[in-house]
A and B are shown apart, each in its own frame.
Chain A
Amino acid sequence: SYELTQPPSVSVSPGQTARITCSGDALPKQYAYWYQQKPGQAPVLVIYKDSERPSGIPERFSGSSSGTTVTLTISGVQAEDEADYYCQSADSSGTVVFGGGTKLTVL
């Protein structure tokens, strides 16, 4: 079955830039999406269609795509950005797939 691969954890200091990657063979043909999930809360969409930002999401969140890897970038990380981040896409048949998640720690 199709898989999306994320690093289990990323750590950054406040004010620095965090980059979380997600790799998958179908990503050149399928859009990727990113969700932020804080403890005890439902996931929140922070990036859609690789690089679009929903209304209400701070400008420090951005997304990019290159080949089989997509990247979520958080510029000027704040303490409130500490959370789990999940990428999501689909395989060629339209089956939705989530990455395993990355825990972002703000040091």
Chain B
Amino acid sequence: QLQLQESGPGLVKPSETLSLTCTVSGGSISSSSYYWGWIRQPPGKGLEWIGSIYYSGSTYYNPSLKSRVTISVDTSKNQFSLKLSSVTAADTAVYYCARHWSDRSRYNWFDPWGQGTLVTVSS
């Protein structure tokens, strides 16, 4: 059974870079069938897709965040990572990683999801 687990600091200072890692277990991140994605949810609000990566390193991002986001993959560790630069209080959210079923065309969905990790931006 595939499982994903987010890890990283729970508190980040304004203007700094948020860094999170997602560890995949029970399956290989190098599968040719999937992307791997990051989604966030501010407290009490809805879901926002951040971006996704293929095991080869090919990425695509939400245009609204693209200038600040970098997603990378480490197939040797079965992990993928998120970096979000120049954070503000508006970036405070629960950050989820998920397997992203996508053909970059007509279909794409997220299943399963990690449990999520709360990142607070505050000095």
Listed in ascending order, the chain A residues whose CB lies under 8 Å from chain B are: 1, 29-31, 33, 35, 41-45, 48-49, 54, 86, 88, 90, 94-101
State in angstroms the CA–CA spacing of A1 and B62 once bound together: 11
- Dominant SS at the A interface? loop
Other than the known A88-B47, A100-B46, what 7 A-B pairs have Cβ atoms closer than 8 Å? A43-B47, A43-B96, A43-B110, A44-B112, A48-B111, A96-B37, A99-B46
How many B residues are at the interface, by size bracket?
Answer: 20 to 34
A98 to chain B: which residues have CB within 8 Å? 46-49
Known pairs A42-B115, A95-B63; A90 contacts B108 (CB<8 A) = yes
B96 to chain A: which residues have CB within 8 Å? 42-43
Known pairs A42-B113, A43-B47, A98-B47; A1 contacts B64 (CB<8 A) = yes
